Chains A and B, each alone.
Chain A
Amino acid sequence: MFEARLAQGTLLKKVLEAIKDLLNEATWDCNENGMSLQAMDSSHVSLVSLTLNAEGFEPYRCDRNCSLGINLASMSKIFKCASNEDSITIKAGDEGDTITYVFESPNGDKVSDYEMKLMDIETDHLGIPDTTYSCVVKLPAAEFQRICRDLSQIGESVTICCTKDGVRFSASGDLGSGNIKLAQNANVDKEDEAVTIEMQEACTLTFALRYLNFFCKATPLSPQVTLSMSNEVPLVVEYKIGEMGHVRYYLAPKIED
């Protein structure tokens, strides 16, 4: 028996919005520690790794480890039926081939339940090595979203160049080119508005904006986003999910032919 209730159901709604355009389907792995998901997009260029810790749910019950194969577009459709104020409970029986979602209004006057079929999904889990990255940039998530959106007007790729002075995002295409430079500003009054750079070694990497724009669907989850980079390895884009977990996106770089 698996049962997990999140009082702040809107977080789960946002999590679904953050992954459903990148992944058609995915397996949620549930154990006593919480729920997690790892899946690559169909072209194997990017990967989503999502963790929701058991402590974030009340109650959380997982009698035995289970893998729930879920069509994420269907799950997202059903979650749109929950109000932002509702709690969301996810339930799955031990041998069932369905999952049930229960949405409850804050005063308990309205309770909705939706049942959905589970899927058999063949998944390849990738081993992600522990890496110390040359550059770790933290910036406001809305700012990163804006940069990706703006540079998509100019070209298909963005080159991110990180030095101790700041980080520069550049794109070029048929109409010309554009550069956006952000300086480090850890001293702003509001922590959420800070741009901070931890750098061991400068790095320059090029990525497809199409995928970064998919990642930016996670912007409503967190005021800040963390970009971790080293030359010639995949980029990590991380958003915290409140106090209960994170969604990490990995993106393979584009390399000069």
Chain B
Amino acid sequence: GTKQMSLTNFFKKK
């Protein structure tokens, strides 16, 4: 199966 990644895995909070 596939797992939905979160955007915060890629982009850091400013």
- B8 CB to closest chain A CB (Å) equals 6
Query: What are the residues of chain B within 8 A of A233 when measuring CB–CB?
Result: 10
**Contact among A45, A47, A126, A251 for B12, CB-based, below 8 A:** A126
Which residues, 1 to 14 on B, are CB-close (under 8 Å) to A? 1-14
B2 to chain A, nearest CB (A): 4
Of B4, B5, B8, B10, which is in contact with the most chain A CB atoms at under 10 Å from its CB?
Answer: B4
Our pick among B1, B2, B13 for the contact of A126 (Cβ within 8 Å) is B13
Compute how far the CA of A47 lies from the CA of B12 in the bound complex, rounded to whole angstroms. Answer: 13
Residues of B within 8 A of A45 (CB): 4-7
Taking a contact as CB atoms under 8 Å apart, the answer to whether A127 and B3 are in contact is no
Q: Find out whether the CB atom of A44 lies under 8 angstroms from the CB atom of B8.
A: yes
Cα A125 to Cα B12 in complex, Å, equals 9
Q: Are A47 and B2 in contact (CB under 8 A)?
A: no
Set of chain A residues within 8 Å of B4, measured between Cβ atoms: 45, 208, 252, 254
Category for how many chain A residues contact B: 20 to 34
A109-147 interface with B by 8 A CB criterion: 124-129
Complex CA distance for A47 and B10, rounded to whole angstroms: 12
Interchain CA distance A102-B4 in the complex, whole Å: 42
Most buried by A among B1, B5, B8, B13: B5
Please give, as numbers and ranges, the residues of chain B lying within 8 Å of A250 by CB-CB distance: 7, 11
Q: CB distance A129 to B11 under 8 Å?
A: yes
Question: In the complex, are the beta carbons of B7 and A46 less than 8 A apart?
Answer: yes
For A157, list chain B residues within 8 Å (CB): 2
B3 partner, pick from A43, A125, A126, A254, beta carbons under 8 A: A254
Please tell me if the beta carbons of B11 and A206 are within 8 angstroms of each other in the complex.
no
Is B5 within 8 A of A255, CB to CB?
A: yes
- Given A125-B14, A126-B14, check contact A252 B9 (CB 8 Å): yes
**A230 to B: closest C-beta gap in Å:** 11
Chain A minimum-CB-distance residue to B8: A44
Q: Mark A42-54, 1 if CB is under 8 A from B, else 0.
A: 0111110000000
Nearest-neighbour CB distance to chain A for B6, whole angstroms, equals 5
A178 at interface, CB cutoff 8 A: no
Cβ contacts under 8 Å, A206 to chain B: 2
Interchain CB contact under 8 A, A47 and B7: yes
Binary per-residue interface labels of chain A (231-257) against chain B in the complex, 1 for a CB within 8 Å, 0 otherwise: 001100000000000000011111111
User: B: which residues have CB within 8 A of A?
Assistant: 1-14
